[in-house]
Amino acid sequence: MHTIFVKRLVTVSVIAAFILTCVLYAFWLNESSKRYNIVFILIDALRQDHLGCYGYERPTSPHIDEIARRGIVFTDFNTTCPWTIPSVAVTFTGLYPQAMFTPEAFAHVHESLPKAVPTIAEILGKNGYDTIGLSDHVTISRKFGYDRGFGSFVELFLSFKDTETDQAKGSTPEYIAMKLREELARAHKKNFFVYLHVIYPHDPYVPPEPYGTMFGMGYKKIIPEERPGVINRYDGEIRYADRLVGNVCDVLREGNFLKSTYLIITSDHGEGFWEHGLAAHGNSLYPELLKIPFIVYPPGGLARGEVRVNTMASNIDVFPTILDIARVKRVPDRPGKSLVPLMKGKAPAKSRRYLFAENQCLRDISQISVRNDRYHYIYSVAKGTGMLYDIKSDPRETEDLAHSAHVPPGMKESLIRHKDEVDAGRALVQNNKAEFDQEMLDQLKALGYIQ
């Protein structure tokens, strides 16, 4: 009798374990098949080290900091190119700029996104996403092909112009939030992907009050002698952009989307304030231009609080990361790596990864660089000389070691190999010239892209 009881107990236990396994498997299957909305906010010309969540002492970013407190903050995130057009092209395609744009001086400003390259919006659209683009930057526009793949693409900059100069200026946070609200109301599929490009804090730094004087007096000219005033206005523009981030969160909250949406905040490049004798951007490969924020707020936020990822990464990784979040199965072969494993807390496998950057053709400056966890090597194509920095002991890159130390084995060779490989793919840029009118030329001049 006792033996029969034990057998029945074992049988019941096995069945119960089997049922539990099935339930857990079904739950895992359901979780693994879940798809989320993605809202990607790119804040133009935003330095990493001018945000509170990255250690800045001024209160420039209360809303962004709040997002970071329940999100994932990448502390060593970099751009591949220190100006807008090629940097955004990297985000949209997952390819390096050299593979998409011709090498002549100023060529990038006259070329549209290559039609031969599938964009992230096209891929997501084919995988069941409503794709919505909102851009406040005149080059991230239809004329340059950045609308390709978006079911709806709103050129925000058309709505706000300076009454005296007729030049486009930044749209207000309230207007942008209103357009986002309208676009989400029209979305009809289960999931949506939003790309929002914010022009401020791009120069000239002219935020409205109270942001114009929030951090002190401004400037008359962007010159070294007026550096404190220039930074005051730049920080005011960041605080203005931060207000927009708060408005976007309000829109998502109103639609009950925050628990089903990945919110990503980043930039295209940083901004220089004469740290190396140069101002603005597009003119060097120093950290003030390459180091940008990358903050991910997962659906509902992290209950355990902020997670900081110190592994180095760059915007070449954004394309595969977004497609990974969207659970796209057929992903084009690209040089970047998905950051989702790092976001989930998985330790990176030990590797000898290099990050590459380039500053081709803008303002007749041609530089390429390579870095690892310890060193950053910048090579001037025009001069045929290089600069080497120990970023562990000298993170601001003030002391060039090229004359006193050897470039670590493999770095220079990897840079040459990278350039050769990327150059080989440039067939994509054939017949890629953008056509635009005098109004667009005036806008490009106002932003400093052409003389």
- Residue 116's pLDDT is what? 85
If one counts every other C-beta atom within 10 angstroms of the C-beta of residue 412, the result is 16
Instruction: Identify whether 163 is part of a domain.
Output: yes
Instruction: Identify whether 160 is part of a domain.
Output: yes
Q: How confident is the model at residue 424 (pLDDT cuts 50, 70, 90)?
A: confident
- Residue 437's pLDDT is what? 56
Residue 154 φ/ψ region, left for φ over 0, alpha for ψ in the -120 to 50 degree band, beta for the rest: beta
Q: What is the Cα–Cα distance from 241 to 44, expressed in whole angstroms?
A: 10
Instruction: Identify whether 213 is part of a domain.
Output: yes
Instruction: Identify whether 212 is part of a domain.
Output: yes
- Percent of the chain exceeding pLDDT 90 equals 61
Average pLDDT over residues 221-238: 95
- Residue 157's pLDDT is what? 84
Q: 195-217 burial by CB neighbour count: b if 16+ within 10 A, else e?
A: bbbbbbbbbebebeeebbebbee
Q: Most confidently modeled of 9-23, 157-171, 333-347? A: 333-347
- Residue 367's pLDDT is what? 87
Which comes out higher in pLDDT, residue 451 or 402?
A: 402
Torsion 439-204-224-85 (CA) sign = negative
Instruction: Identify whether 435 is part of a domain.
Output: no
Instruction: Identify whether 287 is part of a domain.
Output: yes
Q: How many domains does the chain have?
A: 1
Q: How confident is the model at residue 14 (pLDDT cuts 50, 70, 90)?
A: very low
- Percent of the chain exceeding pLDDT 70 equals 80
Q: What is the pLDDT of residues 64-117, one digit of tens each?
A: 999 999 999 999 999 999 989 899 999 999 999 888 877 664 455 567 888 888
Q: What is the Cα–Cα distance from 175 to 188, expressed in whole angstroms?
A: 22
Domain that holds residue 197: 35-348
Q: What is the pLDDT of residues 35-45, one digit of tens each?
A: 999 999 999 99
Instruction: Identify whether 359 is part of a domain.
Output: no
Q: At 167, which amino acid appears?
A: Q
Mean pLDDT, the chain, whole residue set: 85
Q: What is the pLDDT of residues 232-268, one digit of tens each?
A: 999 999 999 999 999 999 999 999 999 999 999 999 9
Instruction: Identify whether 150 is part of a domain.
Output: yes
Does the pLDDT of residue 187 top 60, yes or no? yes
CATH number at residue 134: 3.40.720.10
Q: How confident is the model at residue 169 (pLDDT cuts 50, 70, 90)?
A: low
Would you call 206 helix, strand, or coil by DSSP? coil
Q: What is the Cα–Cα distance from 121 to 14, expressed in whole angstroms?
A: 48
Cβ neighbors of 156 (< 8 A, separation 6 or more) are 134, 135, 136, 171, 175, 176, 179
- Residue 281's pLDDT is what? 87
Which comes out higher in pLDDT, residue 180 or 101?
A: 180
